[in-house]
């Protein structure tokens, strides 16, 4: 497949926290492969290796060649969550058609109220993050009394749209699972480049189960957030 890479560098102005937090959020560069619009239209052919992705970050989300499951990276380890809900280590030679990674360092940390559902936690984050016109990398750790996740089976050419592919998704429910939400918040004006608002994937502390997060309740989560200062966007010619 003929392809080309085009790099866009977006410098986002740093602003200090205006809400009480512990620590300081240092800006971090974000590396993104393709766009959510391309993925929605069926651009599932993997083009960037995970060996390459590891050079750009140790924290992130995405998918694999052929839309084969959900990808989640945490603490430098990359996992593929298949439709059985289980996590499998990703080889360097595997490729991704869509991913976003960064090195998660020096995050600001704060607590939110216990017992929050997904929507309520997102609303709480909107009140705590001081610059909602910026991109944020967000890590939420804790115990989740209930957690609903999904994964999508590998697709085959001719690739369907993402909407059509999601008709074959597998939805799983985890109870009293302790682990990490790995996610990002993109401002509304970046819809199309990525998902506007919040987008989370999950991996449990044993690195055994997870998926794309649809809903949850969080017992007493700790939230860490890093503001993105630069974004390297790699477009692919499909």
Task: Kindly state the average pLDDT of the residues 143-162.
Answer: 98
**CATH second-level architecture of 7-234?**
2-Layer Sandwich (3.30)
What are the residue ranges spanned by the domains of the chain? 7-234
pLDDT digits (tens, 9 = 90+) for 164-213: 999 999 999 999 999 999 999 999 999 999 999 999 999 999 999 999 99
Residue with tokens 């392809």: 3
Token pair of 143 as six digits: 């115990």
Distance (Å, rounded) from C-alpha 229 to C-alpha 145? 34
pLDDT digits (tens, 9 = 90+) for 115-150: 999 999 999 999 999 899 999 999 999 999 999 999
Token pair of 75 as six digits: 């603490």
Pairing state of beta strands 99-102 and 59-63?
antiparallel
What's the sign of the alpha-carbon dihedral 39, 45, 50, 55?
negative
The dihedral region occupied by 166, where left means phi > 0, alpha psi between -120 and 50, and beta the remainder, is alpha
Phi first, then psi: give them for residue 138, nearest 5 degrees.
Answer: -130, 130
pTM for this prediction: 0.88
Query: Vertex 175, ends 172 and 179: CA angle to 5°?
Result: 90
Residues near 154 by beta carbon (within 8 Å), at least 6 away in sequence = 66, 67, 68, 69
Token pair of 111 as six digits: 């607590």
pLDDT digits (tens, 9 = 90+) for 72-129: 999 999 999 999 999 999 999 999 999 999 999 989 998 889 999 999 999 999 999 9
Beta strand residue intervals within 187-234, DSSP E: 197-204, 210-218, 222-234
Residue with tokens 């083009």: 47
Distance (Å, rounded) from C-alpha 194 to C-alpha 229? 16
Question: What's the confidence (pLDDT) of residue 21?
Answer: 40
Inter-residue contact 144 to 217 (CB < 8 Å): yes
Tell how far CA 94 is from the center of its chain: 18
């Amino acid at each position: 497949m003929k392809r080309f890479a085009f790099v866009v560098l977006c410098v986002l102005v740093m602003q200090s926290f205006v809400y009480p937090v512990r620590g300081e959020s240092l800006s971090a560069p974000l590396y993104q492969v393709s766009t959510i619009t391309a993925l929605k239209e069926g651009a599932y052919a993997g083009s960037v290796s995970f060996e390459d992705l590891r050079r750009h970050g140790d924290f992130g989300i995405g998918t694999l060649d052929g839309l084969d499951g959900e990808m989640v990276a945490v603490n430098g380890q990359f996992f593929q969550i298949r439709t059985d809900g289980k996590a499998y280590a990703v080889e360097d030679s595997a490729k991704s058609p869509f991913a976003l990674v960064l090195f998660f360092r020096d995050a600001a940390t704060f607590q939110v109220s216990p017992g929050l559902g997904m929507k309520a936690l997102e609303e709480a984050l909107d009140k705590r993050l001081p610059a909602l016109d910026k991109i944020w990398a967000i890590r939420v750790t804790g115990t989740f009394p209930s957690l609903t996740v999904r994964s999508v089976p590998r697709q085959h050419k001719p690739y369907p749209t993402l909407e059509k592919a999601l008709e074959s998704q597998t939805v799983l429910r985890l109870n009293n699972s302790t682990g990490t939400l790995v996610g990002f918040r993109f401002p509304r004006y970046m819809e199309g480049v990525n998902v506007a608002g919040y987008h989370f994937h999950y991996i449990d502390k044993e690195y055994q189960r997870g998926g794309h997060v649809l809903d949850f309740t969080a017992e007493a989560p700790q939230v860490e957030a890093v503001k993105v200062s630069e974004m390297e966007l790699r477009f692919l010619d499909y």
